[in-house]
Amino acid sequence: MWRRFAHLSLSISRTKLQSLQDPTVLKLINTFSSDAGNDGVASSRKPFITFVLGGPGSGKGTQCEKIASIFGFAHLSAGELLREEMSSPSENGELIRNVIKEGKIVPSAITISLIKRGINSATSDKILIDGFPRSEENRIAFEKIIGVEPDLVIFFECPEEEMVKRILGRNQGRIDDNMETIRKRLKVFEDLNMPVVEHYSSKGKVHKITATGTVDEIFERVRQVFASLRYLKAFLSF
């Protein structure tokens, strides 16, 4: 079960923080001061979980690396975890390879077990989960198994032609970076990923970022979202 943490700091500083009347801060005070109560991951502290969503090639991984290095988050890329599993002598390797090649979605149980392991071994309790959940089924399974909702969702909005151009220029030898699989990934994104964004939008958790322009221009938009969390830094070791 998550242990209440920074309880003392919160009791001292709650009034001061609430006086800021910033909705993000108020939401975070509630997040950090409530005892979510579950056994999904082994940490005694409730991690601060951010889902990073966006179409294939929208720049999730690129921006997550910057967020991780500047704001001290652990970066868990679901796609990367699956690629590592695929390349290891795992019983699921062949299945994962076939699903990724087809641009489809790996069964939730497999992906969530990799994410859970990543959260448990992370050296930060601020976690970025990049490229997950990919479907409502993924989302519901995560919330049930891990027992928490994300504190924040970042959604990178990027035109299709820009995403395709970026993927085709990526040159990392990924088995899904070809036009045939890209078309399938784009369709899965529209049909299955977007309902997840809509779900969290309806809960007021989504920060939409325009993902066009240079990496630095986009990061400046991202930085502003995370900078608003800095209010908590002095009080919650954030």
Ligand X SMILES: O=c1ccn([C@@H]2O[C@H](COP(=O)(O)O)[C@@H](O)[C@H]2O)c(=O)[nH]1
Q: Pick out the residues of the known binding site for CMP.
A: 138
* Rounded-to-integer distance, Cα 12 and Cα 26, Å: 15
Backbone phi, then psi, for 40, in 5-degree steps? -60, -45
Which of these segments, 15-23, 36-44, 110-118, 163-171, binds ligand ATP (CB under 6 A)? 163-171
Interface with ligand X, residue 40, by CB under 6 A: no
The residue nearest ligand X at its CB is 79
What does the alpha-carbon distance between residue 50 and residue 45 come to, in Å, rounded to a whole number? 16
Cα gap 192→199, rounded to integer Å = 12
Residues contacting 201, CB < 8 A, separation 6+: none
Q: Does 131 sit near ligand ATP (CB under 6 A)?
A: yes
Instruction: Verify binding: residue 232, ligand X, rule CB under 6 A.
Output: no
Q: Which residues are annotated as a binding site for a ribonucleoside 5'-phosphate?
A: 83, 104-106, 131-134, 174, 185
Q: Does residue number 104 form part of the binding site for ligand ATP (CB under 6 A)?
A: no
Interface with ligand ATP, residue 183, by CB under 6 A:
no
Asked if residue 177 binds ligand X (CB under 6 A), the reply is no
Nearest to 177 by CA among 77, 83, 51, 53: 83
- Residue 62 interacts with ligand ATP (CB under 6 A): yes or no: yes
